[in-house]
Amino acid sequence: MDNKTIEIDKVVHSPPAGRRPLERIEVVGLSLLAVAMLTLFFFPATLSGAFDTVLNKVKPVVVDVFLTGQVGVAVIISVIIGRLLERLGFTDAMMRVFMPAMRAIGINPAVIIPSVYNIFGDINAAGRISGPLLRQAGATKDEQKIAVATMVQSQQSFSTFMLGMMALTFAGVNVFAVVLIAIFGPLLLSPLLLSRLVYRNVRSVDLLAAPRFTPNIDFAPMLFKAAREGVELLLLILIPAVALVFCVIGLLEHMGIWAPVSDVLERGLLALNIHPETGVLAMLVSPTLAMGKLQAMASTLDPSLVVGSFVLASSGLPLSAVFGQIPVVWAECSDLNEKEVMLAAVLGIVMRLLMAVILAVFLTPLII
């Protein structure tokens, strides 16, 4: 027997010097296992009932609304339309309009880039593209915070915008006035107010080489790529996110927790003149889903509720994006840390909520 065999034999047959103590997560796992076994023994229908509740909560939204319903098709079509407008120079046109306005305000014009790009793109791509551009343009940290707070006051995807316009049309509201005030108004008002009242370390600079955003690709490949992008957005991002949130809601509902929480949220939104059901969906699940439901019932609702819900959903919501996606993306590609990004995003959402209330309560009677 050689030395290597002797060493292996010692390792296998020698008594352990001391067992590794249980870690906290192992204690949690053992506790859950014990609870699960006791539940299975004494109340076997509880686990199956919970699963059935979750299934019945998730299936109508994922299958009936997104996969086979109007919202899913609208997402794909809206991405195609958005990319077509982008290819025709709409993004660069808006840059040419709003960048001089930023210089007039006395702020770095690059501040407006993420907001304008976000109107036709998505909020994560807007951050990844705009963060490095703000650095290159010499934007201060305060100006980068203004960029974040302004960006979250635009809708996350073009599908939200298209569904929202349908809802406004069905409600008999002046679509032009609402879009002008709620979509384009914050692009001017937010940098102006924030640079004067909150983030004052700003300076006007002249961007000699403004970035160009119009894709230089042929129409046929661009349209096919846009259609594929729309399907990927639907299947790989929206549906998994919606399924996850409604799975959690289903579990909370089975435990009797969700009903009182939902009731408090809905009462608060209704007091602010925002449709309760779509407002909760926009805040916690998906603004696209909220807009889809809003356009389906807009003709039967008070126009002020439609306007308030439209403005709220046309933002960087849901809260998971405000507290998760946006801080992570911007912390990686800008000079801000996650806490600074999160505070700026929350400030932007608060401003968006105030605009929804003001438009719904005071301006809706003037624009019907």
Between 355 and 209, residue with greater pLDDT: 355
Residues contacting residue 233 through CB under 8 Å, at least 6 positions apart: 75, 76, 79, 122, 157, 159
C-alpha span between 332 and 50 (Å, rounded): 39
Residue 121 binned pLDDT confidence (cut-offs 50, 70, 90): low
pLDDT bracket for residue 64 (50, 70, 90): confident
pLDDT value of position 126: 76
HSE of 69, CA atoms in CB hemisphere, 13 A:
17
Residue 350 pLDDT: 95
Within-domain flag for 63: yes
The first and second tokens of residue 306, run together, are 């439609």
Give residues with Cβ within 8 angstroms of 88, minimum separation 6: 214
- Tell which residue, 350, 361, 363, 362, has the closest CA to residue 186: 350
Kindly tell me if the per-residue pLDDT of 16 is higher than 70. Answer: no
Query: Does residue 16 sit within a domain?
Result: no
pLDDT at 188 over 90: yes
Q: What is the mean pLDDT of residues 124-146?
A: 85
Rounded-to-integer distance, Cα 113 and Cα 327, Å? 18
How confident is residue 217, by pLDDT bands cut at 50, 70 and 90?
A: confident
Q: What share of the chain is helix, strand, coil (3-state, %, to 5)?
A: 80, 0, 20
**290 close to 281: Cβ distance less than 8 angstroms:** yes
Does residue 216 lie in a domain region? yes
Nearest CA to 49 out of 254, 285, 253 is that of 254
Residues across the chain: 368
* pLDDT of 210 above 70: no
Q: How confident is the model at residue 211 (pLDDT cuts 50, 70, 90)?
A: low
Distances (CA, A) of 88 to 62, 63, 85, 169: 33, 34, 5, 25
First CA to last CA distance, the chain:
95
Q: Which is higher by pLDDT, 204 or 354? A: 354
Residue 60: the pLDDT is: 87
**How many other CB atoms sit within 10 Å of the CB of residue 322?**
21
- 2 falls in which pLDDT band (50, 70, 90)? low
Q: Quote the percentage of the chain above a pLDDT of 70.
A: 92
What is the tally of structural domains in the chain? 1
What pLDDT shows up at residue 353? 94
Tell whether 20 is covered by a domain.
no
Extract the tokens encoding 294.
Answer: 């809003």
| Residue carrying the six token digits 């507290």 | 323
Residue 41 is assigned to a structural domain of this protein: no
pLDDT at res. 221: 87
- Say if residues 164 and 294 touch (Cβ distance below 8 Å): yes
| Residue 166, domain member (yes or no) | yes
Residue numbers of the domain that contains 61? 56-367
Is 221 within a domain?
yes
Average pLDDT over residues 349-355: 94
Omega into 318 within 30° of 0, i.e. cis?
A: yes
Q: Which whole-number Å values give the CA distances from 38 to 52, 54, 114, 179, in the listed order?
A: 20, 21, 53, 56
pLDDT in tens, 234-272: 888 778 888 888 888 888 888 889 889 889 999 999 999
Rounded mean pLDDT, 350-358: 94
Angle at 151 between CA 312 and CA 120, to 5 degrees: 85
E strand or H helix at 78 = helix 70-87
In a domain, 90, yes or no: yes
Q: What is the pLDDT of residue 23?
A: 84
Q: Is the dihedral of CA 189, 160, 175, 300 positive or negative?
A: negative
AA letter at 64: D
How would you class 199 by CB atoms within 10 Å of its CB: exposed for 0-12, middle for 13-18, buried for 19 or more?
A: buried
